[in-house]
Chain A
Amino acid sequence: MNTDTLAPDSNLVPPPAAKPDHPLRETLVIFLKNKAAAAGMILLLIVLVGTIFGPALYGVDANEMVWIPLSPPGDGTPLGTDYLGRDILAGILVGGRVTLIVGAVSAVMTIVIGVVVGAFAGFFGGRVDAALMKFTEFFQVLPSLLLAMVLVTIFAPSLTTIIFAIGVVGWAQIARLTRAEFMRIGNLDYVKAARAAGARDSYLMFRVILPGSLPPIIVSSALVTGASILFEAGLSFLGLGDPNTLSWGLIIGQNQNYLLDAWWTVTCPGMAIFVTVLAISLIGDGINDALNPRARKRG
């Protein structure tokens, strides 16, 4: 909008680059050229390798007392020990597994629920839309982290409950976004043409409209994944994680009372969460820039 309005003689602005032959490839190229996104990819790769192979390579049992409790980094263990004398580095390496699994699976759940609700609301409109939007509004009124806490408390903390709780609370934004995209694209000529040709609703929704509305959904999926990881961290910090599985949030929560005497017990696991979510945010930003090259200069 702004370049056009600033230059009333619109011919003066060089015409936009011709549409690339392979939009996907073009997008990929822009994405790969983005330094921040590349940094995000590398960070995420380090986190993944660390959590998958780290525990075996490091070889220290994260649940065993291996050294004097609360001893600082470098004094017997690389990142120090917690109040039970457990190795913090070992805890970080193995604790990432729960965090990443919960984050990923519940993010997928959030996105699927959001997309389905939004797709039906946007596609059918009218009463279906009104009802589904009331339903969405209901979930927007309940603070999602608080609702997740309540659900986990009531259904007893376990990996499944946590994934379920995080998965069902945060989809409202995705639903709104998908609905808006479906409404917009549903009115475009090629969709009207497909409809006129007698395509079935399910085909129209998921084969015709959905692919067109994917870009913004993909971008917010990165945000949702980051948020899910932060949710998991928050829940296990509050003692609502699976008590039998070590996770980053749990290590922080368990050592909370010692933080002023032993900063390393909370600083390092927190850093792990931060780096992971940062990596995903950077990748999400990179995808966003690659999908909307015009917005990059402004946004």
Chain B
Amino acid sequence: MTDDTPFLEIRNLTVEMKGDAGMIRVLDDVSLSIRRGTTMGIVGESGCGKSMTALAIMRLLPPGFQITSGQILLDGEDITKASEARMRQLRGNDISMIFQEPMTSLNPVYTVGEQIAEAVRQHQGLDTAKAEQRAIEMLKAVQIPGAEARLGSYPHEFSGGMRQRVMIAMALACQPRLIVADEPTTALDVTVQAQIFALMRELQEETGTAIMLITHDLGAVAELADDVAVFYAGWRIEHGPASAILRHPAHPYTSGLMSCTPRLRLGAAASGQGPALLEIEGMVPQLGKMPSGCRFAPRCTLADAHCRSTVPVDTEVEPGHAAMCWKTKAEVLA
């Protein structure tokens, strides 16, 4: 079902936050695109701007945050300029979002059936009975046992993993063309994570939906993503096909991240490359206190004076694979 025309294309997106001393940039000139039926993994530490990207796509940025420049093209339509009414048509229908906190993202006072069915009623004008039928199908699709009986249950009667399945059922109910999944498995234990990922992959194969998977876990990316974008301090510092990035990262930050992910260290750990790789030294710079050159320079072992003074440019290392780094030479990093 894949198709090479991008379904979602983000061009030079900048998001700023009102701070005490003027606007603070939380997302700086970010571009990326997702093709139909594929999964894009967005990777980075918390605070890098990946969740802001998701909320910007939904146009649900928290109060005080706003898109100050750039475009978000959904099937060619720039939704940064769409009216609120148009956004309401798109949300839940064309773009759905799965939030990271299944425990608090479901409304405690309504049954899960109602919470799934209401989006269907809203967008597809189905009557109550048909919407309920759809809710049952969705609960079955996400493999909740006894779907008919569970329809009338309240969120507190489900476990965390089951709630996240409900969230996914809700997101899929209107067969959206894009699902934005913001750390969908962070709150869940490892076995449940694996089940949820398997489920998402299966559903994608059936429906051909595009998925934007936001995560700090490169393991999840390795499992699900076709393409990857790595974020650092509001910059998209590397992007390209998942296989290429995982095999030979072009940015020192990405390779640092990979060494933090035990499943991906492969031979590296065995050959005894030292404990220093277990985590990247230093802290993400504070917003509004960004270094003048490369934002990663203070933590980068390769950084020199040039890195510290001049903002790096996006450099292609192989077709479709680029990194924002002055030191990007495959042989240095491999």
Q: Which residues of B contact A11 (CB under 8 A)?
A: 46-47, 284, 286-287
A4-46, CB < 8 A from B: 5-12, 14-15
B286 A8 Cβ-Cβ under 8 A: no
Contact B19 A12 (CB under 8 A): no
A269 to chain B, nearest CB (A): 46
| Chain B CB within 10 A, most for which of A3, A11, A14 | A11
Chain B: CB-nearest residue to A17 = B20
Neighbour of A6 across the interface among B50, B63, B100, B284, CB < 8 A: B63
B47 cross-chain contacts in A, Cβ below 8 A: 9-12
Point out the residues of chain A lying under 8 angstroms from B225, CB to CB: none
Q: Is the CB of B17 within 8 A of A12?
A: yes
State whether A9 and B48 are in contact (beta carbons under 8 Å apart), knowing that A14-B19, A14-B20 are contacts in the complex: yes
A9-B101 in contact (CB<8A): no
Q: How far is the CB of A13 from chain B (nearest CB, A)?
A: 8
* B100 surroundings in chain A (CB, below 8 A): 8
Contact B19 A10 (CB under 8 A): no
B contact residues around A6 at 8 Å (CB): 62-63
Determine the interface band of chain B, counting residues with CB < 8 A from chain A.
Answer: 20 to 34
Which applies to chain B's interface (DSSP): helix, strand, loop or mixed?
Answer: loop
Cα separation A9 to B62 with both chains bound (whole Å):
11
Q: Are A8 and B51 in contact (CB under 8 A)?
A: yes
> With an 8 A cutoff between CB atoms, is B324 at the interface?
no
Q: Which residue of A lies closest to B65 (CB)?
A: A7
B143 to chain A, nearest CB (A): 27
> Chain B nearest CB: distance from A293 CB in Å?
14
Question: Are the C-beta atoms of A9 and B50 separated by less than 8 Å?
Answer: yes
Is B101 a contact partner of A5 (Cβ separation < 8 A)?
yes
Nearest neighbor of B20 in chain A, beta-carbon distance: A14
- Chain A contact residues (Cβ within 8 angstroms of B): what range? 10 to 19
How distant is B223 from chain A, measured CB to nearest CB, in Å?
Answer: 22
Contacts of A7 in B (CB 8 A): 51-52, 62, 65
Q: From A10, A11, A12, name the one whose CB has the most chain B CB atoms within 10 angstroms.
A: A12
Cβ-closest chain A residue relative to B21: A14
A5 vs chain B, min Cβ distance (A): 7
Q: Are B49's CB and A9's CB within 8 A?
A: yes
How far, in Å, is A11 (CB) from chain B's closest CB?
3
- Rounded to whole angstroms, the CA-CA distance of A109 and B249 in the bound complex is 71
Q: What's the minimum C-beta distance from A71 to chain B, rounded to whole angstroms?
A: 58
Complex interface residues of chain B between 230 and 266 (CB less than 8 A to chain A) = none
Q: How far is the CB of B213 from chain A (nearest CB, A)?
A: 14
Does B108 touch A at the CB level, under 8 Å? no
Bound together, the chains give a CA A6 to CA B62 distance in angstroms of: 6
C-alpha spacing A12/B50, complex, angstroms: 11
B51→A9 contact, CB < 8 A: yes
CB-based contact B63/A12 at 8 Å: no
Task: Report if B182 contacts A (CB, 8 A).
Answer: yes
Residue B104 CB within 8 A of the other chain: yes
Query: Are B286's CB and A15's CB within 8 A?
Result: yes
Are A9's CB and B63's CB within 8 A?
Answer: no
Q: How far is the CB of A149 from chain B (nearest CB, A)?
A: 40
B288 touches A (CB below 8 Å): yes
A-B contact pairs, 11 of them (CB 8 A): A5-B101, A6-B62, A7-B62, A7-B65, A8-B46, A8-B183, A9-B52, A10-B47, A12-B17, A14-B20, A14-B24
- Which residues of A are in contact with B by a Cβ distance under 8 Å? 3, 5-12, 14-15
Residue positions of B touching A, CB distance < 8 A = 17, 19-20, 24, 26, 46-52, 55, 62-63, 65, 100-101, 104, 182-183, 284, 286-288
Q: Beyond the given A9-B47, A10-B46, A11-B47, please list 18 additional residue pairs across the A-B interface where CB-CB is below 8 A.
A: A3-B62, A7-B51, A7-B52, A7-B62, A7-B65, A8-B51, A8-B100, A8-B183, A9-B49, A11-B46, A11-B286, A12-B17, A12-B26, A14-B19, A14-B20, A14-B286, A14-B288, A15-B286
